[in-house]
Structure 1
């Protein structure tokens, strides 16, 4: 699993002109899934995300997690995170999982994230044409891959 994490002041997702999810003060997550992903990847990634200390403390040092600041989370499915641009100018998405494999993992990821955060999260709709709006705070943007645990 690959995730792009953005610390945001606010973020929302619109589908067919209607707001499907909206948050303030928290994390906007773009999640990509590949065929080798499994429940262990979900657990590792969820634990990493909710405990990632990227929110400022009273000294303006990034020392607090989304849990510490009672932040919110908006999750967006993003198969293009597995784009390969090695050949030519048209990206290949061969590494991205097909919906029949990715959708259940996406739903399980949201379920685990909700449980670990201790409150409901917001999300887009898997496979939908979504319009994402956000105000990145910092800016802080971090990329994590469960297969490359750095």
Structure 2
């Protein structure tokens, strides 16, 4: 997988969010996210948890925050890459090796997450569409990923 690969989320909140994939930090997670995107797994999936000043979380096809893909969970690939605005990282349970398909985009700096969650990308453009997602846990009418593509 080339380092220059990009993932684009077309969001219901108004446009495209382009994420630079970071296989240099988390090759296994980048491979998982890209393969799920290519199969259409993320198409129509909501952002079920959006907390202003913190993050927007999606990637659960049930929309409840408890689901994932049918693939096995991933082994943690923690790095010292800081969780700052625009960083994309994997959500997980208390088990460090429980990431599957859920991810979050940092809306603000959240460096208290550093070395505890796997960073796999960074938003290059379209952060305004992430900022525009409806807020809540879950939002009354959640914003959705209309389409996810890898190029």
More helix by share: 1
> Looking at CA atoms only, which structure, 1 or 2, has the larger radius of gyration?
1
| Class of the TM-score when normalised by the shorter of the 2 chains | under 0.3
More strand by share: 1
